[in-house]
Every structure is written in structure tokens, then in C-alpha cells.
Structure 1
Amino acid sequence: MPHTLDITALPTLDLSQFEGTAQQRYEFLENLRHAARDVGFFYLTGHGIDGALLKQVQDLARQFFALPDSEKTAVGMINSAHFRGYNRAASEITRGKPDQREQFDIGAEREALPLQPDSPFWARLQGPNQWPESLPELKPLLLDWQQAMTRMSLRLLQAFAQALSLRSDAFDQLYGDKPNEHIKLMRYPGQPVDASNQGVGAHKDSGFLSFLLQDEQAGLQVEIEEGRWIDALPRENTLVVNIGELLELATNGYLRATVHRVVSPPPGSERLSIAFFLGAQLDATVPLYHLPTALLREARGPASDPLNPLFRDVGWNYLKGRLRSHPDVAQRFYADALLPQAPVRKTA
């Protein structure tokens, strides 16, 4: 394992090598395992997502953010018990401080679950998205991209399983036919030099895998070791991939969920980025996978924040993050979940 002081840039992996020769496949799996353990972040090329589709997604995202405020707030997240929709800048909270970005959240397009008095609170998370009426082409395009990203990311998860000497289908039980797919369109406006530069505060992602499509404006930073950050500079037709906390939990900390942040762009500029998060089914429970002895020796244990503990129950873990990040939606639709007598899940 390289010393963290030797890491000055994110590694680059080519997913097409996973389908290449036996030697290419072996080298890819070795590089994947080391990148995910030593850094927790990497650039992904050869992902198979059409560059024209990526450009269309970016173009329509810009068109969405250019809509009048009245049209964006008409699909505000405050209207959705499923945490779907638009938020103005400074609406989402990370580590107690507002993030200076506006955003639009989309999940899997599914019917709301029928709720019973004893239904878990997280059952309210599933449901339809909100879509702006004046931009009808946004829905089919984002849902097409969502499905393309899901297919690609599940293939990458099979590669992760093999890199860890597990069965290639080891993670399949967590996804079934209803993976928790989440898209976030994000626009970071330029900030005055005397204002907060927290585009989004330092955090770890809570799911399994995250993919980020960046425009040309820098801003994403990765904490390689405590207090030392490196820039994840934009690269054309390349996705930035990082490990989420649940994958770290599933491997007892062998794979690394790394703290990262986005610094606001300077005045007169803006940053557009689009994230895709792959999570397990809401009713799944994350097991502890049995890694080979050689890998277990290198497992560091999951680094759970005492103020933000991890749950193996996927639905509860996902809901916990939503409630913390969006207190206005929490108060409107989950006031009963915030009561002192509300059920408490055991931490991992």
C-alpha cells in the first residue's frame, strides 16, 4: 500500500479492461482493489456511457437551473415525503452548516409504498419524482441515464466482488430489482471572497458507490489524510467514483469511504456537477462479508462518526441522512420519526 504522502492525484481505472484479456482483467481488479482501499476515490474511463448522453444530461441540467425561480420552487423538495425535488442554495445542511449550491434530486421512478400503522418510517422514501412542466424532456433523459448508470455500476460492483475474492454475484442480494438509485443535479454559484466557500461541506457518502460527472470548473477535493486535501480536477468523459460508507461497513473497513468536499467557485463563475448514487434496496440489511485472511489483516474497521452512526439496515441508514440534511422536509413529513419515543436502530 502506498503511503498517503505519496498520493498526489486520484488513480485512473479503465472499466473496459474488466472485459479484456485475462491479463487486463487481472491488472484491472488489482488496481481497483488498491484504489478503493488506499484512496477510496478514482477516475473511471471505459465506462461505456455514451459521451453524447453525458453532454445531453449536462445541457438539460443547465436548462433546469436557468428556469425562473417560480418554476423551480413549484417542484420544491418541501412538497415531497420522498425527498425528491428542488432546493435553493443554503437549504441543505452538512455538518451543521448550509451548503452553497442549488440542487435537484431524483430517485427511482416508482409508486409510493402502501403504508400501514406499523410500517417503518423509511417506507415513505419510495415514491414518484417531481418534474418541471416547462422542461418535459428532462424526465425521459434522466431516467434513461439513470438506467444506464445502474447497469454500469452493477457491473462495477461485480468487479469489486471479484477483486475481494468473493463470488461475482456477492452483492446481488442487496439490490434485487429495486436498487436505491439517486441522481442529484447541482449548481454551485460563484461566491464573494468574504463569503462562505462551502459548496458542500466535508462528508462521506452514505451508500455503496457514488459517481460524479463534472463540468470544466474545479472544486471537488478529497481528504487523503487528515487535514491534507487533493483536487479531483475535471476530466472529459470521465466519471469520478468513490466508496460509500455501507460498502466500507460491508468489508469491515477494508474498502475506504473517504471524506470529501466541494469548494465554491470564485465570483463570476459557476460549477455544474451531476451525481449518481447506487444504494441497496431499502429493505436490505448489509452483511459483513467474509474476506480472505490476507485481506482481513488489512481491514481497518469502519470509521463511524459517533454523532452520525452507521446502521446495517439500509432504509434506516438512508432515512437518517435525509432527515439530517433536510430538516424542513423532516419536520413536515417525519415529525413522528423525530419524537424521543420513535424507534431507534442499533448501530453497526
Structure 2
Amino acid sequence: MPGLLNVPSTPHYVPAPPTKAELDYADLPIIDLGLLADGSPEAFDSIAKQARDAMTEHGFFYVINHGYAKEQTERIFDIADIPFSQVSDEDKTNTYVGRMKQTGSYQGYKPRQYWHIEGGVRDQLEHYNINRDVTKKPHPEALRPFLPEITQFAKHNHERVLHPILRLLAAGMELPQETFVNMHGFDSVGETYVRFMKYYPRTEDEEMKTKNVWLKGHTDFGTITILYSQPVAALQILTKDGTWKWVRHVENALVINAGDALEFLSGGFYRATIHRVVQPPPDQRAYTRLGAFYFCMTDDNVVLAPLLESPVLQKVGVTKKFDDGTKVPTMEEWRKGRTAAYGQTELKPSVNEKGVKVEEEFINGVLVRHYN
């Protein structure tokens, strides 16, 4: 890792080979952040238009030339496996477990079978969440030697990936470039965090009861999610025409998507796209699926109201998420509500505007839908 000497050793994580299955992939745009390096206003304007169109049309896009070489990304996946392969079950489920329902924070472990999926079947994924300030909570002994690298990983994602994307998206709304950046301070009070996640294979009975859905269709609750592309095909997005399409693995690329908070701040101009995780194709079903993420949220005290000063919103209008008279939540209130409720509340079956069956709940006065 750059800037770090004498890094500790750990077993190399060997990912699954890419699938050979013929899948119906989403045609997602690719944003090349390397083109911003020369500081050309023309290059910035061109890429800002690409990012605007990608986020309004799909809510998802790839990023390449993000500053991490292939070897650095592989090292991150080596580290990402440590919380799962080198930590005892006792530490996962007791000592370092997250108290999501009580605190509204994901810091620590989300153990397997915490969420209800469908038909009495609970999830088979665990994840470990680390605030960008790694000193916020104690960590398992096996992970402690790697905290300097995790800190660097968080800082890289925050300053070299998140902030450039936020500048592009602000420009797409004809706002000052630093508008969103100023809401995402690395040293501010907030819950932006690194997440390492591992999905485990399920039984045939579990697959049948859930119709092969591992994680229901949902939106993320933050502003931007950064996912380091990995080869196990399982992630799908719900397209505008109402069909689910697979997200293709692109080596050493990042998969970027918008979350609720960005949709709120942009008055619906940028949409939080519904996505889900399903059973991988047959040639990958024997493998675990390891993920490395950076989940981004504004500072806790930011009120998630539309930025009405945007000339673009003044032209196209605002899609309201909060009824008149409803208190607009802060980022802290929204993340705590979504975190505490997810997979724990009784959902109400319903049908959306397009006749699709959904499950609903209200959080902070906002209708939240889950798609199965």
C-alpha cells in the first residue's frame, strides 16, 4: 500500500473465477476519473455531463482510473477477508457485534441470520463495519495490525473518489462544485464507513422459499455507495422498464450508486436506484462472495431538504419525498431510522404505481419500499 512500510502479512484471498453464464447485463456507463487529472475545465464539464446523465438515467455507473492499482485492490480484499476467516464466532456475535436496532449504527458486525428475507428464511451474510475514524470502536485482534491500511483506504475513497464524484454531480445541478463536498467532511461527525461483507451459499430449501433472492430490492440510505467490483455475479438493478438486470464485473473498477440522501438533496433529480442480491449462476454457487464497500453519508447535522437554489431544479421541478408539514430529517435521523428498522420490522404488502408487488414501511414520515 502506498505510504505504508512493513505492512503485516495475511493469507491471499483467491476470488471465484468470473462466471461463464450468459446473463442479461445492465448497460451501465463508465466514468474515467483519470481524465480529471490535468485540471482541464473542458474535461471536467464533459465528465460532469456523463455523470449527470448516468445518475439520472440509471442511478448506477462504473468508475475506472480511481487511483488504486490492481495489486492495491487485491490487498484490500485480502484484508476484507480477515474479519470473517480469522475471528471467532464468539467475537462476531458478542464482543464486537453491532447494536443496530438499539443505536441505529452499523459499526461492528452484522451477524448472519439477523435479517428476515422471506418465508421464515433469514439471511446468510455477515459484514463488518468500520467508521472512517477507526478509533471510534475497538476491533478484533486479528484486524488491529491492518487499521493503518484501512484508514488509508477510507481516506482514499473519501478524497480521491467520493469528493470528485460529488463535484461532478453538483456541476450537473449547476451548483457550486463544493456544494456536496462541504456536506461530507472526513473529520466531521457522521457514519460514513468501510464495510467488508461476505455472502455464504444457502440450502436448496432456502433458495426455494425465497425464490433465490438473497437480499430484497432496496435503496441505500446514504448519498453515494462505492463498491469494489468482484467476480461473483449476484447484484441486480431494477431498470426503468421494470426488469431486473445483472451488474457485470469489471476488473479493478468501482460500482457507484446513489442513495436516498442524495435523492432527497437533489429533489429527485438524482435517483436512488433499487437493487438486490440473488443466487449466483451455477458455476459460482460453491463460492463465497466477498465485498469491499465505502458507504458515504453527509455529516450527521445536514438536513436532507432539496437544494432549491439549483437552477436545474428550478427548471425541472422537485419530486417531493416529505409531505408538507413533515419535519425533514437530518442525516443522523434518517440513517438511524433506516438502520434500526431494516430486516426487523413488520412490512405491509402493497402494490406500487406500476402494479408491482412491494412491501412497505414508513420511516421518518417517508414511504420506504422493498422489492422481492
- Within the candidate set 96, 112, 117, 1:89 is matched to 112
Q: Which residue of 2 aligns with 1:256?
A: 271
Q: Look up the equivalent residue of 2:175 and give its one-letter code.
A: L
* Inter-partner Cα distance in structure 1 for 2:126 and 2:220: 18
Q: Secondary structure at the match of 1:43?
A: strand
Q: Which residue of 1 aligns with 2:331?
A: 314
Q: Secondary structure at the match of 1:187?
A: strand
Q: Secondary structure at the match of 1:104?
A: strand
Q: Which residue of 1 aligns with 2:349?
A: none
Q: Relative to structure 1, is the Cα distance of residues 90 and 297 closer, same or farther in structure 2, using a 3 angstrom cutoff? A: farther
Q: Which residue of 2 aligns with 1:270?
A: 288
* Inter-partner Cα distance in structure 2 for 1:192 and 1:299: 48
Q: Kindly state the Cα deviation for residue 139 of structure 1 after the two structures are TM-superposed.
A: 2.1
* Inter-partner Cα distance in structure 1 for 2:311 and 2:169: 17
* Inter-partner Cα distance in structure 2 for 1:129 and 1:156: 29
The Cα offsets for residues 96-125 of structure 1, whole Å up to 9 and x where unpaired, read as 9743311111113277xxxxxxxxxxxxxx
Q: Kindly state the Cα deviation for residue 50 of structure 1 after the two structures are TM-superposed.
A: 3.9
* Inter-partner Cα distance in structure 2 for 1:223 and 1:78: 30
- Are 1:93 and 1:325, in contact at CA under 8 Å, matched by a contact in 2? no
Q: Look up the equivalent residue of 2:96 and give its one-letter code.
A: V
- The question of 1:47 aligning with 2:66 is answered yes
Q: Look up the equivalent residue of 1:155 and give its one-letter code.
A: P
* Inter-partner Cα distance in structure 2 for 1:236 and 1:97: 33
* Inter-partner Cα distance in structure 2 for 1:345 and 1:38: 27
Q: Relative to structure 1, is the Cα distance of residues 345 and 186 closer, same or farther in structure 2, using a 3 angstrom cutoff? A: closer
* Inter-partner Cα distance in structure 1 for 2:61 and 2:44: 17
Q: Relative to structure 1, is the Cα distance of residues 145 and 293 closer, same or farther in structure 2, using a 3 angstrom cutoff? A: closer
- Within the candidate set 118, 132, 140, 1:132 is matched to 140
The Cα offsets for residues 143-196 of structure 1, whole Å up to 9 and x where unpaired, read as 221111111212221121112211011124423441531122111112233323
The Cα offsets for residues 60-85 of structure 1, whole Å up to 9 and x where unpaired, read as 12232112323433322249944321
* Inter-partner Cα distance in structure 2 for 1:311 and 1:33: 25
Q: Secondary structure at the match of 2:277?
A: strand
Q: Secondary structure at the match of 1:272?
A: strand
Which stretch of structure 1 is more off in the superposition, 242-251 or 136-145?
Answer: 136-145
What's the TM-score, normalizing by structure 2?
A: 0.73
Which stretch of structure 1 is more off in the superposition, 159-168 or 62-71?
Answer: 62-71
* Inter-partner Cα distance in structure 2 for 1:216 and 1:246: 28
Using the aligned pairs only, state the percent identity. 23
Q: Relative to structure 1, is the Cα distance of residues 107 and 264 closer, same or farther in structure 2, using a 3 angstrom cutoff? A: farther
- Within the candidate set 158, 161, 170, 1:161 is matched to 170
- The question of 1:72 aligning with 2:83 is answered no
- Are 1:97 and 1:201, in contact at CA under 8 Å, matched by a contact in 2? no
Unaligned segments of structure 2, at least 5 residues: 1-24, 346-362, 368-372
Q: Kindly state the Cα deviation for residue 303 of structure 1 after the two structures are TM-superposed.
A: 5.8
Q: Which residue of 2 aligns with 1:334?
A: none
- Within the candidate set 144, 149, 163, 2:152 is matched to 144
* Inter-partner Cα distance in structure 1 for 2:79 and 2:111: 18
* Inter-partner Cα distance in structure 2 for 1:321 and 1:97: 21
* Inter-partner Cα distance in structure 1 for 2:245 and 2:365: 35
Q: Secondary structure at the match of 1:90?
A: coil
Q: Secondary structure at the match of 1:72?
A: helix
Q: Relative to structure 1, is the Cα distance of residues 290 and 135 closer, same or farther in structure 2, using a 3 angstrom cutoff? A: closer
* Inter-partner Cα distance in structure 2 for 1:173 and 1:287: 15
* Inter-partner Cα distance in structure 1 for 2:45 and 2:110: 44
* Inter-partner Cα distance in structure 2 for 1:261 and 1:102: 16
Q: Which residue of 1 aligns with 2:213?
A: 198
Q: Kindly state the Cα deviation for residue 230 of structure 1 after the two structures are TM-superposed.
A: 1.1
Which stretch of structure 1 is more off in the superposition, 16-25 or 152-161?
Answer: 16-25
Q: Which residue of 1 aligns with 2:192?
A: 181
Q: Which residue of 1 aligns with 2:342?
A: 325
- Are 2:82 and 2:142, in contact at CA under 8 Å, matched by a contact in 1? no
* Inter-partner Cα distance in structure 2 for 1:168 and 1:233: 31
Which stretch of structure 1 is more off in the superposition, 200-209 or 73-82?
Answer: 73-82
* Inter-partner Cα distance in structure 2 for 1:83 and 1:71: 16
Q: Kindly state the Cα deviation for residue 325 of structure 1 after the two structures are TM-superposed.
A: 2.6
* Inter-partner Cα distance in structure 2 for 1:101 and 1:199: 9
Which stretch of structure 1 is more off in the superposition, 13-22 or 72-81?
Answer: 72-81
Q: Kindly state the Cα deviation for residue 345 of structure 1 after the two structures are TM-superposed.
A: 5.5
* Inter-partner Cα distance in structure 2 for 1:175 and 1:65: 30
- Within the candidate set 58, 61, 79, 1:60 is matched to 79
Alignment of 1:218-229 (within 5 A): 218-225=233-240, 227-229=242-244
Q: Which residue of 1 aligns with 2:180?
A: 171
What's the TM-score, normalizing by structure 1?
A: 0.78
Q: Secondary structure at the match of 1:160?
A: helix
- Are 2:216 and 2:276, in contact at CA under 8 Å, matched by a contact in 1? yes
Q: Secondary structure at the match of 2:239?
A: strand
Q: How many residue pairs are counted as aligned between the two chains?
A: 308
- Are 1:252 and 1:301, in contact at CA under 8 Å, matched by a contact in 2? yes
Unaligned segments of structure 1, at least 5 residues: 1-6, 112-127, 329-343
Q: Secondary structure at the match of 1:191?
A: coil
Which stretch of structure 1 is more off in the superposition, 184-193 or 249-258?
Answer: 184-193
Q: Secondary structure at the match of 1:13?
A: strand
Two-structure CA RMSD over aligned residues (Å): 3.1
Q: Relative to structure 1, is the Cα distance of residues 346 and 225 closer, same or farther in structure 2, using a 3 angstrom cutoff? A: closer
